[in-house]
Amino acid sequence: MKLKQLETLLGDLQQFTTPKVELEQYPTGPHIASRLLYTAENSFDDISNKVVADFGCGCGTLGAAAALLGAELVIGIDIDPQSLEIASMNAEDLELDIDFVQCDISNLGWRGQIVDTVVMNPPFGTRKKGIDMDFLFVALKVASQAVYSLHKTSTRDYIKRTSLRDLNASSAEVLCELRFDVPQLYKFHKKKEVDIAVDLWRFVPKRSQVKDN
Amino acid sequence: MRLLTHNMLSSNIKGVTKGFPLKIEVEKVVEKQVEINHDFLRNIFPKIDWKAFSDAARTMGYVELPEQAPDPSVLESDLDFLTKFHHALLELHLEEGALVCPETGRKFPVNKGIPNMLLHEDEV
């Protein structure tokens, strides 16, 4: 599938109807989502025929993109039931089989590293400090191959240092810098639309070096 | 929820040391056809907890899988086995029912195929 085609399909997905500020629910736009998954598939072979988990999946954009690119199993995990309902409908509209689980990523109970790749657009931690690193910590425990994640560019040094030192990453690489446009969703947003600089990261978990296949 | 997902999920209630495998209570199972991918099945096979998987399949009403993990050589030659493995792993969905913590008996409901694994405040 071509990048443009992927972006168009994702552009038709339904997004949050009443976003919850405490969960930092911002839709992952089709531009960013398509690029994240396209890079994971075409530069690193991390998506097709793989087990992919979408952490904090929201309306399921990243997971849907993974399924469209040929992931064998996609699991979308989110704490919010309304988001999961929209994500299920989105998957159905695109005729994609995606498993959804309602769970707080910080308390996720998980066996082994059967998931190959985690993709996520985690909360940036502007409302609940440290939640972005909680997501990354769990993702690097669950994934055997790679974790793709978006983080504010302003936190680049901190992310790099912490993921390598404390979070079981053997490598942490910024693949590109993107503009994340946050539409005016909430009352406290004064400007109509803001652009935030975000980094697209690829982390490799340590244990993946002893691959079992 | 498919059985491959079930093979990874575990109860994470505070104090629970062995939260895997979650028992399944079935109200409704649905089947959805998926194209078979032999290479994927060969890759995933060594990572599956076979006992948990075959027990889960039986609970869901599918009795064609061996109770003991078969020798990996069947993955090369036995098309019949691959078809059954594929079916149980990726085509059976628990649509309505519950997952039950093996240690505490706490039920996690499954509605419209989505297990609710959220913990109460005193379980975290």
CATH number at residue A7: 3.40.50.150
Contacts of A134 in chain B (CB under 8 A): none
pLDDT at A120: 97
Residues A59, A29 contacting (CB under 8 angstroms): no
| B70-94: burial string, b at 16+ Cβ within 10 Å, e else | eeeebbeeeeebbebbbbbbbbbbb
Residue among B9, B37, B116 whose CB faces A72 most closely: B37
Residues B108, B115 contacting (CB under 8 angstroms): yes
Dihedral, CA atoms, A47, A205, A101, A176, nearest 10 degrees?
-60
Q: Looking at this protein, which amino acid is placed at residue A148?
A: Y
Residues A159, A152 contacting (CB under 8 angstroms): no
- Token couple for B18: 């062995």
Q: Does B50 touch chain A (CB under 8 A)?
A: no
Q: In the predicted model, what is the mean pLDDT of residues B33-62?
A: 97
pLDDT per residue, tens digit, chain A (213 aa), is 899 999 999 999 998 877 887 888 877 889 999 999 999 999 999 999 999 999 999 999 999 999 999 999 999 999 999 999 999 999 999 999 999 999 999 999 999 999 999 999 998 877 788 899 999 999 999 999 999 999 999 999 999 999 999 999 999 999 999 887 766 666 666 666 678 899 999 999 997 444 443
pLDDT at A213: 36
Where are the domains positioned within chain B? 3-105
In whole angstroms, what separates CA A105 from the centre of its chain? 12
pLDDT at A88: 97
Contacts of B118 in chain A (CB under 8 A): 79, 102-104
d(C-alpha A3, C-alpha A11), whole Å: 12
In whole angstroms, what separates CA A149 from the centre of its chain? 6
Contacts of B9 in chain A (CB under 8 A): 101, 109-111
* ipTM confidence: 0.96
d(C-alpha B41, C-alpha B44), whole Å: 5
pLDDT at A5: 95
The verdict on domain B3-105 having CATH code 2.20.25.10 is yes
Domain that holds residue A107: 3-209
pLDDT at A156: 96
> How many domains, chain A?
1
Count of CB atoms situated within 10 Å of the CB of A67: 24
H or E stretch at A109: none
A49: alpha, beta or left? (left if phi > 0; alpha if psi -120 to 50):
left
- Token couple for B27: 């109200």
Query: Based on the number of CB atoms within 10 Å of its own CB, is A207 exposed (0-12), middle (13-18) or buried (19 or more)?
Result: middle
pLDDT at A126: 76
Q: In the predicted model, what is the mean pLDDT of residues B75-93?
A: 96
